[in-house]
Amino acid sequence: MTIRRRTVLKGMLASTAMVAAPAVLRAQGAPFKIGLLTVKTGPLAQGGIQMEQGIQTLLKEKGSTLAGRKVELIVADTGGNPAGAKTKAQELVERDSVNVILGPLAAFELLAITDYVREHTTPLISLAAAEDVTQRHANPWVVRPSATSGQCSHAMGDYAAKDMGLKRMATISEDFAFGHEQVAAFQRTFEDAGGKVVRKLWPPLVTPDYTPFIAQIGDVDGVFTGFAGSNPVKFMRAYADLGLKGSIPLTGGWTAMDDALLKSLGDEAVGVVSAHFYSPTIDTPSNARFVEAMAKDYQVVPGGYSAGMYIAGQCVEGALEKAGDKAGDKEAFMEALRTVQLTDTPRGPVAFDEYGNIVGNVYIRKCERKDGALVNTIIKTYPDVSQFWTYDPAEFLKNPVYSRDFPPAKNLE
Amino acid sequence: MPPGAVRALCLGAALAVLAALPWWMANPYYVNIASQILFWAVFALALNVLVGYAGLTSLGHAGLFGMAGYTAGLMLAAGAGHAAAIVAALLATLATTAIFALLALRATGIGFLMITLALGQILWGIAYRWASLTNGDNGVKLADRPAPLGLHLSSPDAFYLATFAVFLLCLASMRLFVRSPFGASVRGTRDQPRRMRTLGYNVWLVRFLAFLFSGFWTGVAGLLFVYYNQFISPQVVALQTSAEVLLMVISGGVGTLFGPVAGAAIVVVMKNVASAYVERWNMVLGIIFVLIIVFMPEGLVPGAARLVRRGYRGLRAGSGPAAAEAAASPGTAGR
């Protein structure tokens, strides 16, 4: 008898649940799957972990619900190499059937999978800087909410010539595509504004000691650095140790002075001027929430990688809102994503150009010590900077992609 | 049934299961993983010719691997057809192998290792720094996969079957090589170079030819790799790739036919499948290697065969050691 009563009770419970379930399902639908391609092992892991923190912060803030839809995040570690990125992209697309991929981190990883996401019509939101992914080989399935390699250093070149009044500069950057592209963009705007790049130095990616390179800088009145990863820390220390810090001002691209690096830097960084698409001091409501949550959950000051991923998540939210019921359809979602316009992101208002690259503010910041801690204080804002700077896109794209040899350096001594 | 027939039957059944993999493996992702295991296995088998049979440990094979991939990629980018690109890639790899061999065979042991390491790094440097040719670290993309015999390899299943066919060919050629008089002379130069010389063998030439044989299959593996990824960049040519393949050979079993295949399977599965579940997959892989070294210093395949043999002998203890020994002996036939 008791058994039967229990069965009846169970049946009642089940039927109540069945009545209630459709309402819940209607409100949420199947979860929208976001795949994150990041690097959690190997030398690039620092940036990769920051990327994961950025998107986790957004999802936590939103209760894992974007535009009314439950969101599921699947994290994949590429190991920081192209073949790994390809395999992990296959895992996310073919096994996990994600609706959108965020990442990967490095340019060579992005280049290894752009054709793949196009074939499998999977939207990709990447922070990697490879210029041509949104230029000469623009891919309809890729958008980039961070910046091309040249996007920030265009502004840095302009500022160095016009506002800092520098005339003769040397550049120093790692000898790989990201460095080449940054320096080329810097040289172009700096020389267009009347400056001269008189020396270009290319230390290898792994350089234990920058002293021999710094010794070659010579007679200039400013230096531009395009270092990335942990190299800026090593470089700035050597630069200060050799006594150049006070005499030749240092400028840099976004990775050279990213705010996530500040905790590893000391007085050698004070006074360095850098161009970045993000700064923790930007005064927008979402940035205030983001910086606070990052400090609370991870005890860090966020930099470009985590902010970029937070913004990527906001772009997903914007596209979900825009696509509405059709968000499950990849074509409709991608179209919504490419036309997303956000006013409140940690980096200010953003939109994508027709090539899928972001148009947004670029900030010139000066590193200062405030209340004992290093801060990159914004000293100038270039509003709505496009990847083409002020050049005509059609003219811009007729030129070869930025490299070690283009634009040619005519003023080398 | 004689033990040899049981062995052949097992092997046949295993190959049939592998050949039918696209039909029973529901998800294309796992078919792709299987393709990766197979072409890494071809690479490991190729390296095993030198490491296992000739006793020459090379750390420059990633250079040869990349040579094939880059040649094919650049030829295709320049507008050549697949057939031309593949032939050119294999020829270029053979030529590079010959140069490697000419320089490296002046030494054996550590000297050989260091020379191949240096040569591999030179090729890496070229891939990385000669940006006007190789596009530097931005790499080279392949627009398309080929369509041999009218079967287009763009789908995971088709690519798997083609890779499997190449893998079988490689395995067969390795078996032929091991059993041939030439294979015996290569092993002779490994164990007793001086005696081989007194017997009238040209030790240098035997090693040179073994190097070429190894280089050829490395080139084939490089081609499969580049067609699989449709992208190649300097990372592939770096020392890490050479070391990884060497690890596959050593962990699986040096100088065995199936050891390198097992080693390739472990590394690929750990790197790609296990890394989705275990964040510290590098550490797990390291622990597996330590366990292999501690408990099966001769490698996974011969080590497992030894354990099975011991268990078998324990079971058959009543029927006399001679019978057990006879039943066990085919287990070493792969050597």
Confidence bin at A18 (pLDDT 50/70/90): very low
Could you tell me if B174 and B317 lie in one domain?
no
Could you tell me if B212 and B313 lie in one domain?
no
The answer for residues whose C-beta is within 8 angstroms of residue A276's C-beta and 6 or more apart is A152, A254, A257, A258, A259, A304, A362, A363, A365, A376
- The per-residue pLDDT for B132 is 86
Residues of chain A with CATH 3.40.50.2300: 31-128+283-346, 150-279+361-398
Tell me the sheet residues that pair with A222: A169
Please indicate if any CB of chain A lies within 8 Å of the CB of B33.
yes
- The per-residue pLDDT for B273 is 84
Q: Do B279 and A77 touch (CB under 8 A)?
A: yes
Please indicate if any CB of chain A lies within 8 Å of the CB of B129.
yes
- The per-residue pLDDT for A1 is 41
Could you tell me if B317 and B200 lie in one domain?
no
Could you tell me if B154 and B216 lie in one domain?
yes
| Sequence letter at residue B142 | L
**Is B231 domain-assigned?**
yes
Residue A197 Cα distances to A161, A194, A224, angstroms? 11, 10, 10
pLDDT mean over A399-408:
92
More confident of the two residues B328 and A267: A267
* Sheet order of strands, A32-38 included: A65-66, A69-77, A32-38, A100-102, A124-125, A142-143
CATH of A150-279+361-398, one of 3.40.50.720, 3.40.50.2300, 3.90.650.10, 3.40.50.2000: 3.40.50.2300
- The per-residue pLDDT for A16 is 46
- What residue of A is the nearest CA neighbor of B35? A87
Could you tell me if B281 and B306 lie in one domain?
no
Interface residues of A toward B, Cβ cutoff 8 Å, are 40-41, 76-77, 79, 81-84, 86-88, 90-91, 94-95, 107-108, 111-112, 115-116, 130, 175-177, 180, 403-405
| Sequence letter at residue A40 | K
- The per-residue pLDDT for B129 is 87
What are the counts of helices (DSSP H) followed by strands (DSSP E) for chain B?
A: 16, 2
Could you tell me if B182 and B303 lie in one domain?
no
Could you tell me if B307 and B223 lie in one domain?
no
- The per-residue pLDDT for A4 is 52
Q: CA angle at residue B258 from B256 to B259, to 5 degrees?
A: 65
- Give the one of A77, A95, A404 whose C-beta lies nearest to B27's C-beta: A95
Could you tell me if B182 and B302 lie in one domain?
no
- The per-residue pLDDT for A152 is 96
- What residue of B is the nearest CA neighbor of A49? B279
Distance from CA of B146 to the nearest CA of A (A): 16
CA distance B107 to A299: 55
> What is the CATH classification number for the domain harbouring B271?
1.10.3470
* Percent of chain A residues topping a pLDDT of 90: 84
Confidence bin at A9 (pLDDT 50/70/90): very low
Could you tell me if B196 and B307 lie in one domain?
no
CA distance B38 to B264: 8
Confidence bin at A206 (pLDDT 50/70/90): confident
CA distance A89 to A126: 13
The answer for residues whose C-beta is within 8 angstroms of residue B317's C-beta and 6 or more apart is B324
- Give the one of A40, A108, A180 whose C-beta lies nearest to B139's C-beta: A108
- The per-residue pLDDT for B7 is 84
Distance from CA of B207 to the nearest CA of A (A): 32
pLDDT mean over A291-311:
96
Could you tell me if B35 and B177 lie in one domain?
yes
Low-confidence ranges of chain B (pLDDT < 70): 1, 318-335
User: Does A14 score more than 80 pLDDT?
Assistant: no
pLDDT for B76-123, tens place per residue?
999 999 999 999 999 999 999 999 999 999 999 999 999 999 999 999
Residue B302 is part of which domain span? 296-328
Q: Does domain A31-128+283-346 have CATH number 3.40.50.2300?
A: yes
- Give the one of A112, A175, A404 whose C-beta lies nearest to B231's C-beta: A112
Q: Which residues of B touch A404 (CB under 8 A)?
A: 131
Could you tell me if B240 and B301 lie in one domain?
no
- The per-residue pLDDT for A23 is 41
Q: Do A79 and B279 touch (CB under 8 A)?
A: no
The count of structural domains within chain B is: 2
3-state secondary structure A25-80: HHHHCCCEEEEEEECCCCCCHHHHHHHHHHHHHHHHHCCCEECCEEEEEEEEECCC
Mean pLDDT of chain A: 91
**Is B333 domain-assigned?**
no
Could you tell me if B228 and B314 lie in one domain?
no
